[in-house]
Amino acid sequence: MTKPVGALKGADNNYHFTLWSPHADNVQVIIKGEEAARTMERDAYGYWHSNDGNGVTAGSKYKFLLNGEHKLPDPASMSQPDGVHEWSEVVDHDFDWTDENWQPAPLSDLIIYELHVGTFTEKGTFEAIIDRIDHLQALGINAIEIMPIAQFPGSRNWGYDGVYPFAAQNSYGGVSKLKMLVDKFHQAGIAVILDVVYNHMGPEGNYLSLFGPYFTEKYNTPWGAALNFDDSYSDHIRNFFLQNALMWLKEFHIDGLRLDAVHAIMDNGPVHLLKELSLKVDGLEKETGKPYILIAESDMNDVKVISDYSKGGYGLEAQWTDDFHHAVHTLITGELDGYYSDYGQIAHLAKSFKQGFIYDGIYSNFRNKLVGTDPSNNASHQFVVCIQNHDQVGNRMTGDRLPSIVSYEKLKLAAGTMLISPFVPMLFMGEEYGEDQPFQYFVHHGDPALVKAVQEGRSKEFDSFKWQGEVPDPQSENTFRNSKLNWDFKSQQEKDTLFKFYKYLIHLRKEGAFDLFKSQEIITEVMEDKKLLKIAATDSSRHILVLLNFSDSIQNVTISGEHRVWHKLFASSDQQWQGPAELPESVTSGNKLPLSPNSISVYY
């Protein structure tokens, strides 16, 4: 079933209201400033319609009155200018777009940059992000991924407490400023991916249960009752979220969606919500002539999410690959607490570099069960990898980033390992210059009881880790302000050099320097005792050799293989990158190279 919901402009240029509330006996729409409520009529499926759009214009504020008792904002509101409890606002989607001929780079060529609107700039708005386009272009970024912007309570939040999926956060600038951002980024050659949450809704301002059976008790999730995607009335809840996804792509010209924690989307129906979404987006591609990408976050390591329909898959384009992050993180930090206990070996990284998943059907000691499926038949661009992201930083006790945990040499080693990989790399905002401001968990709830519950719950989350320190208060504005980026990095030599290092490696990647890893068999040699990893690939005319030293000692490594001269592409230990020792520009097979501690070196 396809049914537009909310306040939408019709062919007659009047606004028409549609609300799904199957158990209501009477529904009216109240226009702010009018004395009498307007009548709505019910159809056979429980949708209420008001075709009386006289006097309703963009900017008009309204609420729905259920059974003469509950006066509530619209669940499909496209604007909540006064917050989650107040009036919804009618939105006109007309906008003077300049991106008619825009086409994003192919998924396989993307360099993604994850950012949080509120902390990316001092102002914390959509418009302020535009001022950083030059920085992102200079770095070589061609896609940004914006953390969720669906209306949440208060003015500061990670975004995963959103309660109005159709409304762009008012404190960020709302609808028009988000469209301006997308248009400006397209002009600059940068795609825009939006993080959306279809596995739960936030607690404050969540009135969905008053409208209908949006939730089901069939399943338990970390957030309580699951959204109802396969129980009675589920067709209409599915429609609500499918319409939402299509709105972002069509009305806001968003290039793709990152789907939060799809393992918590509980759906045992004949067509999983993710597959139905993928099919809907396929249809939109035919309609607009533009490609869109769907990227899943999933902890299942199940290729079904990204496999073709013909193979029983859901057809999404890519998914986050936590195994790669965990493999690199444990090697450079030595942390083996919690879920990190499943990692920590050079062999883990070697396996992940070749195929993304480490847990591909093997036993996980942390989970006490077999985890994952075989990804060897999936293309490398279907896996998005990182060494930092909002989860892996922000869900540490104090939100400390890698520069606060590891040495400068290890930062370059980790960055190099990600950027030469065959997968789609994703940077977390500020990573490119070694931002050492934390990224902490913050909220701005209005309910004191909820604030207390969040504070207490946050303190209990870290029982399986040995992190030291005190959990920052999520409700405190200081926690939010401490998480803002410090853009004064060019005055600090190491940070400026790290930025240039990232920039250079991204340039090499775009020039195809590491493409052999995408197209040819990857050969790895693991030296666990020395914490060394060799990675190589070759074709009829090209060769590439990567030497990764994760130890704290100099390692003399023999360059094996056929007798030939290898030329240096880059070495993180070189002096131009503030490293401790220069490696030779060339080396002949059979000779040894003295690899500096915690370094990456690439020869061709």
What are the phi and psi torsion angles at 386 (to 5°)? -155, 170
Is residue 136 within 8 Å of residue 113, measured between CB atoms? yes
Query: CB within 8 A of 438, min separation 6: which ones?
Result: 393, 398, 399, 400, 401, 404, 472, 482, 483
Q: Is 390 marked as a binding-site residue?
A: yes
At the fourth CATH level, the homologous superfamily of domain 6-89 is Immunoglobulins (2.60.40.10)
Q: What is the pLDDT of residue 464?
A: 62
Q: What is the pLDDT of residue 596?
A: 98
Q: Give the pLDDT confidence of 546-563 residue by residue, as tens digits.
A: 999 999 999 999 998 777
Q: What is the pLDDT of residue 459?
A: 74
Strands 41-42 and 6-9: unpaired
Residues identified as active-site:
260, 297
Q: Is 263 marked as a binding-site residue?
A: yes
Q: What is the CA radius of gyration of the chain?
A: 25
pLDDT bracket for residue 342 (50, 70, 90) = very high
* Residue in the structure block whose two tokens are 């953390």: 147
pLDDT bracket for residue 458 (50, 70, 90) = confident
Nearest to 547 by CA among 499, 500, 598, 478: 598
Q: What is the pLDDT of residue 555?
A: 98
3-state secondary structure of 553: coil
Q: Is 326 marked as a binding-site residue?
A: yes
Q: Is 191 marked as a binding-site residue?
A: no
Two tokens at 121?
Answer: 């700039």
**Hey, which CATH number is domain 515-603, 1.10.1740.10, 3.40.50.720, 2.60.40.1180, 2.40.50.140?**
2.60.40.1180
| pLDDT surpasses 70 at 441 | yes
Q: Give the pLDDT confidence of 19-71 residue by residue, as tens digits.
A: 999 999 999 999 999 999 999 999 999 999 998 888 899 999 999 999 999 99
* Better-scored residue on pLDDT, 599 or 224: 599
Integer Cα distance of 276 and 228 in angstroms: 15
Q: Rounded mean pLDDT of 524-536?
A: 98
pLDDT bracket for residue 80 (50, 70, 90) = very high
Q: Is 394 marked as a binding-site residue?
A: yes
Q: Is 27 marked as a binding-site residue?
A: no
Q: Is 258 marked as a binding-site residue?
A: yes
CA distances to 307, 429, 480, 531 from 472, rounded to whole Å, are 41, 21, 10, 35
3-state secondary structure of 249: helix
Q: What is the pLDDT of residue 331?
A: 98
Q: What is the pLDDT of residue 463?
A: 67
Q: What is the pLDDT of residue 456?
A: 82
Nearest to 148 by CA among 95, 86, 193: 193
Nearest to 197 by CA among 161, 226, 173: 161
Equal CATH topology for 6-89 and 515-603: yes
Is residue 106 within 8 Å of residue 36, measured between CB atoms? no
Q: Give the pLDDT confidence of 252-295 residue by residue, as tens digits.
A: 999 999 999 999 999 999 999 999 999 999 999 999 999 999 99
Q: Rounded mean pLDDT of 373-399?
A: 97
Two tokens at 462?
Answer: 């870290």
Two tokens at 401?
Answer: 């980033």
Nearest to 437 by CA among 7, 120, 55, 42: 120
Q: Is 430 marked as a binding-site residue?
A: no
What are the phi and psi torsion angles at 118 (to 5°)? -70, -25
Integer Cα distance of 301 and 323 in angstroms: 9
Query: Helix 273-288 and helix 234-251: axis angle, to 10°?
Result: 30
Q: From start to end of 354-420, where are the E strands?
A: 362-364, 369-371, 383-385
Q: Rounded mean pLDDT of 418-424?
A: 98
Q: Is 322 marked as a binding-site residue?
A: yes
CA atoms in the 13 A half-sphere facing the CB of 598: 18
Question: What percent of the chain is predicted at pLDDT more than 70?
Answer: 100
**Exposed, middle or buried by CB within 10 Å (0-12, 13-18, 19+), for 381?**
middle
**Exposed, middle or buried by CB within 10 Å (0-12, 13-18, 19+), for 584?**
middle
Q: Measured in Å, how far apart are the chain's first and last C-alpha atoms?
A: 55
| pLDDT surpasses 70 at 159 | yes
Integer Cα distance of 79 and 172 in angstroms: 12
Is residue 430 within 8 Å of residue 132, measured between CB atoms? no
Q: Is 235 marked as a binding-site residue?
A: no
Amino acid at 297: E
Residue ranges per structural domain of the chain: 6-89, 107-507, 515-603
Nearest to 112 by CA among 318, 265, 352: 318
Q: What is the pLDDT of residue 298?
A: 97
Integer Cα distance of 153 and 26 in angstroms: 28
Integer Cα distance of 545 and 505 in angstroms: 15
Query: CB within 8 A of 131, min separation 6: which ones?
Result: 121
Mean per-residue pLDDT of the chain: 96
DSSP per residue, 33-45: T-SSPEE-EE-TT
Q: What is the pLDDT of residue 451?
A: 92
Q: What is the pLDDT of residue 28?
A: 97
Strands 318-320 and 383-385: parallel
Q: Is 91 marked as a binding-site residue?
A: no
Integer Cα distance of 420 and 400 in angstroms: 25
Q: Give the pLDDT confidence of 122-155 residue by residue, as tens digits.
A: 999 999 999 999 999 999 999 999 999 999 999 9
**Hey, which CATH number is domain 107-507, 3.40.50.460, 2.40.50.140, 3.40.50.2000, 3.20.20.80?**
3.20.20.80
Query: Helix 322-333 and helix 408-419: axis angle, to 10°?
Result: 160
